[in-house]
């Protein structure tokens, strides 16, 4: 947090120096004119007990790094003039695509009666699909926290109380839709599976859950296996999409070598994850009887985080901005 604060303090200092130079006649006065317009401050009542919060966006010193984009900075949350949070965020999208009066979308996504918010980061599929981040309000801490499992992967939309849809783009450049629901018992978002419709209504069946507070071996193992299966599918999508990109830019030979290396990298990651989790739970002093379940929980968490990273990479492939 200390680094973030100093990063936000550098810009005012630079402006004071520039003003001093301008007064001495070394810098033309038009240089002091704003180079970009800011975003309108928003006020929103989060809930009856949570009160009203103010949301500002403060640009950092990298805000003009990409020509034509809005830029990066911090979503600053405050109450009665007192800053509560500074959430780093980058608007990697054209300035004309951002509504400066409604740059945050407030809704109760997890169904707890308190408002959360989503914010767009960039657009994929030639600008047709937004890539959003979801921030969930925690009544206990009074802070917002990013929901990693659905953020920076695709377009987020609230569907029914406690559930949302996530529209993602695969490596081939086509979109597909997922459903995620919030499980209050574990305070986690889990991917839901659609069963066959009954009586004209679609029923969502939540996938296996690994409870972090009370991990149970069988349920955690099922959840981890399911997560690994989804991860493998995403890895293959990314690998094939990346191969096509590399064929066009660096040739078929380079692309095929990359595919082989990436396949080995994923296998190595699996081995490292399993070994690290086995040692980690022992370092934490977990009871012997609870070791298997705790190990599966650790593997599940690693797989979930890795899946999120690959979703981000696939979204960037669809956008056409992936680097070799």
pLDDT in tens, 76-88: 999 999 999 999 9
296: nearest Cα among 212, 232, 193:
212
Alpha-carbon separation of residue 96 from 37, 70, 129, 139 (angstroms):
12, 9, 16, 35
- In this model, does residue 305 exceed pLDDT 50? yes
Highest mean pLDDT among 66-70, 140-144, 147-151, 223-227: 140-144
pLDDT bracket for residue 318 (50, 70, 90): low
pLDDT bracket for residue 173 (50, 70, 90): low
pLDDT bracket for residue 232 (50, 70, 90): confident
180: nearest Cα among 134, 140, 114, 137:
134
In this prediction, residue 220 carries a pLDDT of 82
Neighbouring C-beta atoms of residue 16, cutoff 10 Å: 10
What mean pLDDT do residues 88-102 have?
88
Share of residues in the chain with pLDDT > 90 (%): 21
The two structure tokens encoding residue 234: 């995403």
H helices present in the chain, as ranges: 2-23, 217-250, 252-283, 291-319
Contacts 24+ apart (CB under 8 A), 267-274: 269/306, 273/299, 273/302, 273/303, 274/299
Tell me the whole-structure pTM to 2 decimals.
Answer: 0.56
pLDDT bracket for residue 288 (50, 70, 90): confident
In this prediction, residue 222 carries a pLDDT of 80
- In this model, does residue 273 exceed pLDDT 50? yes
Beta strand 143-146 with 204-206: parallel, antiparallel or unpaired?
A: unpaired
∠ CA 48-51-57, nearest 5°, is 135
pLDDT bracket for residue 229 (50, 70, 90): confident
In this prediction, residue 61 carries a pLDDT of 74
120: nearest Cα among 109, 102, 132, 128:
132
DSSP state of 173: S
In this prediction, residue 45 carries a pLDDT of 93
Query: 16-48, pLDDT tens digit by residue?
Result: 554 554 455 544 433 333 344 578 999 999 988
Neighbouring C-beta atoms of residue 303, cutoff 10 Å: 23
In this prediction, residue 193 carries a pLDDT of 63
Report the mean per-residue pLDDT for the chain.
78
In this prediction, residue 198 carries a pLDDT of 47
In this prediction, residue 134 carries a pLDDT of 95
Query: 253-270, pLDDT tens digit by residue?
Result: 898 898 888 888 888 898
Do residues 91 and 82 make contact, with C-beta atoms less than 8 angstroms apart? no
Judged by average pLDDT, the poorest of 28-37, 137-146, 165-174, 219-228 is: 28-37
Crossing angle for the helix pair 217-250 and 252-283, to the nearest 10 degrees: 150
What mean pLDDT do residues 173-186 have?
81
Contacts of 278 (CB under 8 A, 6+ apart): 295
> Residue 137 CA to chain centroid, in angstroms?
15
Task: Find where tokens 């056409």 sit.
Answer: 320
- In this model, does residue 302 exceed pLDDT 80? yes
């Amino acid at each position: 947090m200390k680094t973030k604060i100093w990063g936000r303090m550098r810009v005012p200092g630079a402006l004071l120096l520039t003003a001093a130079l301008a007064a001495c006649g070394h810098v033309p006065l038009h240089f002091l004119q704003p180079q970009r317009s800011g975003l309108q401050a928003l006020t929103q009542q989060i809930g009856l007990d949570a009160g009203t919060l103010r949301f500002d966006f403060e640009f950092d010193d990298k805000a003009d790094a990409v020509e034509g984009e809005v830029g990066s900075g911090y979503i600053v949350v405050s109450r009665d003039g007192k800053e509560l949070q500074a959430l780093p965020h980058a608007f990697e999208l054209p300035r004309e695509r951002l509504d400066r009066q409604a740059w945050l979308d407030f809704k109760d996504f997890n169904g707890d009666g308190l408002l959360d918010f989503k914010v767009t980061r960039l657009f994929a599929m030639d600008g047709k699909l937004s890539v959003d981040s979801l921030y969930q309000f925690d009544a206990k801490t009074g802070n917002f926290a990013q929901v990693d499992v659905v953020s920076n992967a695709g377009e987020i939309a609230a569907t029914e109380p406690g559930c949302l849809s996530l529209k993602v783009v695969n490596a081939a450049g086509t979109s597909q839709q997922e459903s995620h629901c919030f499980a209050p018992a574990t305070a986690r978002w889990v991917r839901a599976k659609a069963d066959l419709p009954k009586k004209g209504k679609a029923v969502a069946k939540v996938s296996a859950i690994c409870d972090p507070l009370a991990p149970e071996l069988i349920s955690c193992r099922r959840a981890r296996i399911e997560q690994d299966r989804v991860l493998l599918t995403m890895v293959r999508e990314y690998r094939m999409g990346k191969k096509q990109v590399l064929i066009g830019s660096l040739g078929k030979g380079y692309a095929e070598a990359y595919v082989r290396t990436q396949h080995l990298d994923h296998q190595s990651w699996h081995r490292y994850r399993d070994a690290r989790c086995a040692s980690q739970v022992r370092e934490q002093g977990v009871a012997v009887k609870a070791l298997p379940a705790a190990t599966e929980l650790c593997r599940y968490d690693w797989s979930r985080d890795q899946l999120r990273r690959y979703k981000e990479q696939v979204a960037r492939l669809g956008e056409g901005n992936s680097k070799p």
